[in-house]
Amino acid sequence: MKKVMIAIVAAGMSGMLWLAGCKKDEIDPRTWRPVSFEVPKGWPQPAYTFASNPLTFDGFELGRKLFYDARLSRDNTVSCGSCHQQVASFAHIDHDISHGIENRLGTRNSPMLANMAWHTSFFWDGGVNHLESQPIAPIVNPLEMDMTVPEVIDRLNADADYRSRFKRVFGSDTINSQRVFRAMAQFMGAMVSSNSKYDKYVANPGAGYFSEQEVRGLSLFRQHCANCHKEPLFSDFSFRNNGLLPKPGVNDSGRAHITGLAEDRYKFKVPSLRNIAVTRPYMHDGRIATLADAVEHYRSGVAAMSTTDALVAGGIVMTEKDKSDIISFLETLTDSTFITNPLFAEPAK
């Protein structure tokens, strides 16, 4: 993982230097080699491998530009970055549900984005099966960006900078949806967060990265939470009912919306807990405002439904001290280098 970050940082620096008018002996970004994607030590293989979409710095940069471009919404007001803010690990801080154009409201909380290459499905109901097939959903959703794919292509084609960027990345200036979504997949797929205090602790448990409370918290977490929030990605990417009663008037059936199966009612994708301390509010509909209340839900708030997951049914037994230990551990999952890395930030206009 360190190598990827270094490669991307190096590429970014060389780009910045070049823009600033660097000397001839600096690396020329026009001849920059493709950045590599490497799996952090101890992590499983990713689902998205860039095999048919080779990761390059230009492709990553094109994806970043698209991610932050409000022209992907019908009235040019909302970009992907509007609801996915880097400071919140690309969740929408303090917004319970997604806000689209014209103040339209969705029904679900904008999930944080990190380590997307490992996800086997996307959205709270897992309806989308591929990283490249993900961006189209919010773009065309009437409650989000309310756009059409042909209109996106027309707008990008009208922009000479985009045409030259697509040519650099894909070899010709043809702009089609496949190229748009592949460029976005390069950006999103390269958004890897693996540099939290937890990661440092796991790599070197004896080096004093964790306080005693954090060590206790990790132990309790492994006992009570890690079956679903499986390390190192902190999700097993399954769908489970964690005991949140459906909101009246919304009645979001979750996974059953996709499968049509009664046994999947009110099940939602287990979210990764990486950067959890900065991604408030919590749960699929953002109904819980604080991390303490989110943990408390599993102690005292789990509702009994026919599909409530057996691992949380009846609530998880923990003392107040257990709870604060777990919270102190969860705070070690914040990766400050990820949420401040300028390469993932909105590019300068």
Q: Distance between CA atoms of 127 and 172, rounded to whole angstroms?
A: 32
Q: Which residue has the tokens 């190096």?
A: 10
Does 170 sit near another protein (CB under 8 A)?
A: no
152 phi/psi in degrees, rounded to 5 = -60, -45
Shortest CB 136 distance to another protein, Å: 5
Of the candidates 136, 202, 277, 311, which one interacts with another protein according to CB under 8 A? 136
Residue count of the chain, please give it: 349
Of the candidates 76, 176, 195, 238, which one interacts with another protein according to CB under 8 A? 176
Does 120 sit near another protein (CB under 8 A)?
A: no
Six-digit token pair at 33? Answer: 């080699």
Residue 155: which H helix or E strand, with range?
Answer: helix 149-157
Q: Which is nearer to another protein, 129 or 223 (CB)?
A: 129
Does 52 sit near another protein (CB under 8 A)?
A: yes
Which of 106, 58, 56, 114 has the alpha carbon at shortest distance from 85?
Answer: 114
Of the candidates 21, 150, 171, 206, which one interacts with another protein according to CB under 8 A? 150
Shortest CB 52 distance to another protein, Å: 8
Residues 242-301 that bind another protein (CB under 8 A): 257-258, 260
Give the count of residues interacting with another protein (CB under 8 A).
29
Q: For residue 317, how many other CB atoms are within 10 A of its CB?
A: 8
Does 177 sit near another protein (CB under 8 A)?
A: yes
Q: Distance between CA atoms of 254 and 195, rounded to whole angstroms?
A: 32
Does 191 sit near another protein (CB under 8 A)?
A: no
Q: Which is nearer to another protein, 149 or 313 (CB)?
A: 149
Burial of 80 (0-12, 13-18, 19+ CB in 10 A): buried
Residues near another protein, by CB under 8 A = 52-53, 123, 127-133, 136-137, 140-141, 148-150, 153, 176-182, 185, 257-258, 260
